A = this chain, B = another copy of it.
Amino acid sequence: MGSFAEDTINGSELIHPPILTQVLGRSLGAGGQLGVKRIDLRPQQRLVRAPAHDRQVLMVGEGVLSLDALPGKGQRQILDFLMAGDVIPLSAIQFLPTISVRALTKATLVCTGDQDEDECNLRDMRNSRDQLQSQLQRAHLQQLLVGHMDAEARVASFVFAFALRVGADAQTRSSLELPMSRDDMADYLAMNRDTLSRVMMRFETQLLIARLNRHAIRVLNFEGLRQLSPVASLIAAILGRHEKSGATA
């Protein structure tokens, strides 16, 4: 097998020799799999040469990734963050060289659905369709964010949404991991790194959040954040009630 991943060093990309790629065989729950590949990624490593087969499904096992669009000229727009259970939108990166997937943390991907027979394919397909719908909803949400909200509301919405996404309830006072850099966050919210920093600082002086370290905050006033986000109810509707049955028993 060739390599599926590459590192990036400030935009210039180095192709690496084969990465730890294990074939797990018929071990996962859904029977009849011909083979389930695993791909491990280090932080900042990019996924390249995605499996070309149309029916394959590439899913995030653990870690956090970002879906980057790089329309050249030093610009970057992060289209989505991908977390455990999310499906990599192969259609987006397959023939669009300006869009790629990057690992923010150490991450593992699992690849299923090799066989071209149908039957149990239906389950895979339904699952991937649901995943596509979720991603479309998140994209819509982000269109709203970037389209009609100011910097403060965007950041509040993002923190609110991310907290919901990693499963924190409104009660949860524990720390919230933000595995992406400030630049990543800014590029996702389509704003300037400086502006983002200002807003975060303002939130801290308002005692809405507390910064634990570079990659973790504590949400002190969840309700306050919610009120700063005009689309909080939408976010809750989209991200709130995902009772997923993780099939990998």
Interfacial residues, chain A to chain B (CB-CB below 8 A): 67, 69, 71-73, 75, 77, 79, 89, 91-92, 95-96, 98-99, 118, 122, 125-126, 128-129, 132-133, 135-137, 139-140, 142-144, 146-148, 190, 230-231, 233-234, 237-238
Contact = CB atoms under 8 A, between A and B. Distances in A.
Q: How many copies does the complex hold?
A: 2
A126 B237 CA distance: 27
Interface SS majority for chain A: helix
Contact of A129 (B67, B125, B135, B234): B125
A129 B230 CA distance: 31
A73 B234 CA distance: 14
Given A71-B231, A77-B148, A79-B143, 15 more contacts: A67-B140, A69-B144, A71-B148, A75-B230, A77-B143, A77-B144, A79-B144, A122-B125, A125-B126, A129-B129, A132-B132, A136-B136, A143-B143, A146-B147, A148-B190
B146 A72 contact: no
A69 B142 CA distance: 12
B77 A136 contact: no
Given A91-B133, A132-B133, A148-B77, A234 B143 contact: no
Contacts of A95: 237
